[in-house]
Amino acid sequence: MIKTKVGIYFCVLFIFFLGSCAPLRYFKNADQGFIQTTKEKVKHFQLKHARDTIDFIVLSDDFDKKKPVLFYLQGSTPVPLIYDYKSDDMKALLVFSFLKDETVKKLKEKYHLVAISMPAVPLSLGSEDLNEQAWHVKQKDPYPLFYPEYHAANVLSNYVKRTNRVIDYLSNQSWVDQNHITLFGHSQGAKVAIVAASGNKQVYKVGFSGGNPFGTIDDLLREHRYNAMMGDISYEQSQKSIDSFYRLWIDIVANPKTIEDKSGDANRTWLSFDENLVPYFLKTKQPIYVCYGTVDPKSVMCDNLPIYFIRAKKTNLTMKPYPGLQHNYRPVDEKLKIAGESIMDSVIMDFTKWDFK
């Protein structure tokens, strides 16, 4: 009996040891070296776990200096991080391209900047693999079709797992301030950010930008109503579109795991991103920063978040609405048509000021 207990004890210890070493095994040879883009060098890392390969890049002016990390979690659609001008042997950075060079420079003075590739999308692609929107598609015309591998991987839980694995890796690097790993997600990336932060104590603070805390369907239906209110379509057309989506939703719910070749997202994607995120907000103990344009049908429901936090007697929420701006922080006219340039640079810098308070 004693020998049996001792044997079981050492067996458990051995299994625990293997489990604790597993992340190190996935991290082996992760550093893939530098990639020269048209503006700067970026460092490429690759993590392999089970059947998934996670490519991510880090922008930094000094890898020998321990600094905070800022994740930028991008929105939807299968866009690569880097565009490859294969004919000219040049590469352009697509992620962070919405920011001015001066803003990126200021951010790198404070942070190591991190961006993770979309699942089942290569890190770098050229025009032959992308449509006009820079989406990685297997068919461009007459309408874009996504790859089945992307449909299978394009679910909220997978984005969260990938983000947490990158956090695990970075938290073991000497050049990373383990006490200051911040997430900033925009649009779909905002949902990934809040869910990842809610279950990961390694996250210092989290930014939720331009997201809908009540799921994807809410902003889709709201957008149909907005279009009618602004005169883009009739109220009758708006109602027909909503009724049509109700019928589509019946099929989505009835066939939740379908991965078919069709234009747009698969059923599993619709279902995963339609989850109500309020419970994740309330579960999150870290400071939360919510920013959004007040005329954005995708994120205007953020107005309701303080109600939930006040009721729950939680005080870790900071609200930063931008009056009169749309989804990507551009001003609009009385018809909600874009009427100016994005102030995304100011939005990011406002967030970083809060992050360092």
pLDDT, tens only, 298-314 = 999 999 999 999 999 99
Report how far apart, in Å, the C-alpha atoms of 239 and of each of 140, 227, 242 are. Answer: 30, 11, 5
Q: Dump pLDDT digits (tens) for 78-106.
A: 999 999 987 667 899 999 999 999 999 99
- H helix or E strand, kind and range, residue 113: strand 112-116
CA angle 309, 314, 320 (to 5 degrees): 60
Residue 118 lies inside a defined structural domain of this protein: yes
In-domain check, residue 141:
yes
Give pLDDT, residue 261. 65
Does 4 map to a domain?
no
Residue 61 maps to a domain: yes
| Residue 290 included in any domain | yes
| Amino acid at position 194, single letter | I
Query: For residue 2, is pLDDT > 70?
Result: no
Q: Choose the weakest-confidence range: 64-73, 81-90, 292-301.
A: 81-90
- Integer Cα distance of 158 and 154 in angstroms: 7
Burial state string for 104-132 with b = 16 or more CB within 10 A and e = fewer than 16: bebbbeebbbbbbbbbbbbbbbeeebbee
The pLDDT of residue 24: 47
Q: Which DSSP letter does residue 264 get?
A: S
In a domain, 21, yes or no: no
CA distance 71 to 217: 26
Assess if residue 6 is contained within a domain.
no
Domain contains 342: yes
Which CATH number does the domain housing residue 312 bear?
3.40.50.1820
Instruction: Indicate the pLDDT class of residue 28, thresholds 50, 70 and 90.
Output: low
Asked if the model's pLDDT at residue 9 lies above 90, the reply is no
For residues 347 and 330, the answer to whether their CB atoms sit within 8 Å is no
Q: Mean pLDDT throughout 235-247?
A: 96
Distance CA 45, CA 106 (A): 23
pTM of the model: 0.90
Stretch among 73-77, 262-266, 291-295 having the lowest mean pLDDT: 262-266
Amino acid at 266: A
Q: Which residue has the tokens 């989850």?
A: 275
Which residues 6+ apart lie within 8 Å of 204 measured at CB? 68, 179, 180, 181, 182, 286, 355
pLDDT at 280 over 60: yes
- The pLDDT score that the predictor gives to residue 85 is 86
| Domain count along the chain | 1
- Its domain, for residue 302, covers 30-355
Please give the structure tokens belonging to residue 118. 């979309």
